[in-house]
Structures are given as C-alpha cells and as structure tokens.
C-alpha cells in the first residue's frame, strides 16, 4: 500500500490545487500539537458526491464548536470538493476535507492562530473488512476504553482529538485477533464501534444507542431514514452489553464503513448479514447511486 504522503494526484489546499506530494505543513503546526483539527469523510458514487451539503455544513460547525473559524464558505468548500474529485479523475472514491490551526503561534491560546483547509480524495473500499478472507461480517471486542462524558468535550464536533481513544480501542481489538472494538459509555452501556455507529435488531425492531457520548453520524441518520421508509420500526434507547449479545442482527454504519454486519461480540456469535441488515444495505446502495 502506498504511503499517503507519496502518491500521484492533487490535493486542494487553501484555495489552490497542489500536486499531492507538495501539500504539506510544518512540524510545529498547532493542530498537530494541541488537537486543533476537524475533518469530514464523504464518498462519491458514480462521480456524484453523496450528501455534500450536509457534510460541508458539519465540517464548518465542527470547527466552530472547537473555536475555529473556517476561512472558506460552505459553497467554496463544496466547489473545491467537486474540483478535487475531478482533478484526480475519480468516480467512486473517499473524500477527506479538513480544517486545522497552523504554525503561526504555539501554545494553548489559539485565538490568533492561522487556519487552513485542505481536501484530498482517493479510492478507498469499505473501511471495515473482516480479517478472515471471505467471512461475512466483522468481529468486535469490548474495549477497556470508554467513550467520554459529553460534558468534557463538544462530541458533535468531528474533531481529530476524539479519535485518539478510538485508535487505542481499535489497536487493542486487532491485537487480540478481532476486526474492531465495541466501545461502552461511562455507565457501561453500549455506545458504538471505534469509528462507526452501531445498530441491533430484535424481533424485527432496530435499536440503536442515543448519540449523547458519540457523533450522530450522517450515515446513521440516513439509515434511520431508510428504515422509516421501509416501515421497519426503530428505537433510540439504552442497550446493555448483556442485551446486545442477544440481538438477532448487529450492524455498523459510517461513511467509510458504509453498512457492515457484525458476526461476533467477544465470544458470542451473531448471525452475519441478517435479512434487515441486507435490506438496508441494498436500500443504501440504491440511494447513494440514485
């Protein structure tokens, strides 16, 4: 796999399209040292970017929530996103816009910092793939790490710093031979995976944790909307780990992951890609390519 700093193509950065290898920042960048960075993940299907406006608005809102004023408008970033996909001659791809504080100042007081925006796009298949070849569904290991208290950070900001705990949870799970982590909240109830929202199916009813300690994903919201159109009842509710393993089906959602079934929670086996999961996968693919 090619490293991400040594590829052909173009990255839009601060208003201009730059050769991929030249889109760089200084080592003393505020966003890298103090977590002053937010990002988005989008996908294009057949050359059309799915929910571009929703993702772009969330990018700017995420920055605002951690006190960063984005120097470009929604419309400017939307056009730059479209231009980046075209410049790289892509049709089906993953897109990563991000906003960060630059290297003008160092220290926690960041009100005078410079702010930068960049957008990259590349081909990237579904983020969550089972490690065991053609096996359907992913395996999840309950992490020793927990999702944080919503009073400690604006958790509806897609901020880079939040993903540090997800990285630790993911590495803990893969080191134990699992595909991803199952993360609990501070009370020990089910939250989500390391970077994907979670749904469980019980007797034809879809249940999902309330997004109070994790990001309310755009794909999550899309799936809830699809379920409503398909007359599949849904509930946003508390799910305990003991209840989760009794589910008929479990699946994860996210822009990078799309919709992927879970086949195992710790030592408990789950039916992989059950009928409701498959119905939603088909409906989602029809929607994103419509």
Instruction: Please list the active-site residues.
Output: 158
Question: With helix as H, strand as E and coil as C, how does the chain read?
Answer: CCCCCCCCCEEEECCEEEEHHHCCCCCCCHHHHHCCEEECCEEEECCEECCHHHHHHHHHHHHHHCCCCCCCCHHHHHHHHHHHHHHCCCCCEEEEEEEEECCCCCCCCCCCCCEEEEEEEECCCCCCCCCCCCCCCEEEEEEEEECCCCCCCCCCCCEHHHHHHHHHHHHHHHHCCCCEEEEECCCCCEEEECCCEEEEEECCEEEECCCCCCCCCHHHHHHHHHHHHCCCCEEECCCCHHHHCCCCEEEEEECCCEEEEEEEECCEECCCCCHHHHHHHHHHHHHHCC
């Amino acid at each position: 796999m090619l490293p991400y700093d040594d590829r052909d193509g173009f990255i839009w950065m601060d208003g201009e399209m730059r050769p991929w290898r030249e889109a760089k920042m200084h080592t003393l960048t505020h966003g890298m040292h103090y977590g002053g960075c937010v990002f988005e993940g989008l996908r294009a299907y057949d050359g059309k970017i799915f929910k571009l406006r929703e993702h772009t608005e969330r990018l700017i809102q995420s920055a605002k929530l951690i006190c960063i004023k984005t120097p470009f408008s929604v419309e400017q970033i939307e056009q730059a996103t479209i231009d980046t996909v075209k410049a790289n001659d892509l049709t089906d791809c993953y897109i990563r816009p991000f906003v960060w504080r630059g290297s003008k100042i160092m220290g926690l007081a960041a009100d005078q910092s410079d702010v930068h925006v960049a957008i990259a796009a590349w081909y990237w298949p579904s983020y969550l793939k089972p490690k065991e070849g053609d096996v359907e569904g992913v395996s999840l290991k309950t992490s020793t790490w927990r999702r944080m208290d919503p009073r400690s950070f604006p958790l509806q900001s897609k901020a880079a710093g939040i993903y540090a705990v997800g990285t630790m949870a993911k590495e803990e799970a893969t080191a134990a031979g699992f595909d991803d982590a199952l993360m609990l909240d501070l009370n020990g109830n089910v939250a989500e995976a390391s970077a994907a929202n979670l749904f469980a199916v019980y007797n034809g009813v879809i249940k999902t944790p309330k997004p109070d300690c994790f990001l309310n994903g755009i794909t999550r919201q899309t799936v809830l909307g699809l379920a409503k159109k398909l007359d599949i009842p849904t509930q946003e509710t508390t799910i305990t780990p003991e209840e989760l393993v009794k589910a008929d089906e479990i699946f994860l959602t996210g822009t990078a992951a799309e919709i992927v079934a879970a086949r195992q929670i710790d030592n408990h086996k789950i039916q992989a890609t059950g009928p409701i999961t498959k119905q939603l996968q088909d409906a989602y693919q029809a929607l994103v390519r419509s």
